[in-house]
Amino acid sequence: MSKKSRKKSSKTPSGSPTAKKKAPKTRATTQTSPAKIQRASAGKSSKTTAKAASHEAPSKRLKSSEKASKPKAGSAPALAEGQKAPGFRLPRDGGSVVTLADYAGQKLVLFFYPRADTPGCTREAIDFTRLKDAFTAAGTTALGISADPLKVQEKFRDKHGLGIPLISDETHEMLEAYGAWGEKSMYGKNFLGIIRTTVLVGTDGKVAKVWRNVRVDGHADEVLAAARSL
């Protein structure tokens, strides 16, 4: 064999520079393919998530707008004059129980106050105590009602020497029935609480007169005058 033939046969395709360069390219191609697939799938999942979020957002806003359109809970129902007085059975200071039936055939004053031993409520309770004998002479009994526990009511009574029975309505059932529980506003904030209210019930068991958002000064005297006129 000639020297030229031996040189040509020694340069096989596997040993050629071109073959060496192609092998790395083939490996690189096989390695990058899964990465491209992962990036593509990640892009699809992010698009799917974005679409899902865009569909959820309007439903949340819709729910909030629906809640806003609903009437406010806890608003005081109207108690009309001439309506039969709602019945009640609640504890009073001293531990006994008071019911509407206890005063059948009598005139009854129910004054609802927000909180025991606060300035306005104290003045109101003292005024009704001052006029207790005058109410009795007019065939009328006055009862004070708030949501305070009995212990608080009794402390309130003892501190100010009150002579009016004080009823505890912690469940708000009577307060709501007589329209004395509802939305109030103070310092720009709305909240549910006791609306200072007085109800005069006649001997027939029907509501004779209702005072709402009561101003304390002179109120007890006004109620006494109304009771005398029945």
Among 76, 121, 175, 226, the active-site one is: 121
Q: Contact at 8 Å (CB) between 104 and 197?
A: no
Question: What does the alpha-carbon distance between residue 166 and residue 54 come to, in Å, rounded to a whole number?
Answer: 57
* Rounded Cα gap, residues 197 and 195, in angstroms: 6
Annotated active-site residue 121? The verdict is yes
Q: What residues are labeled active site?
A: 121
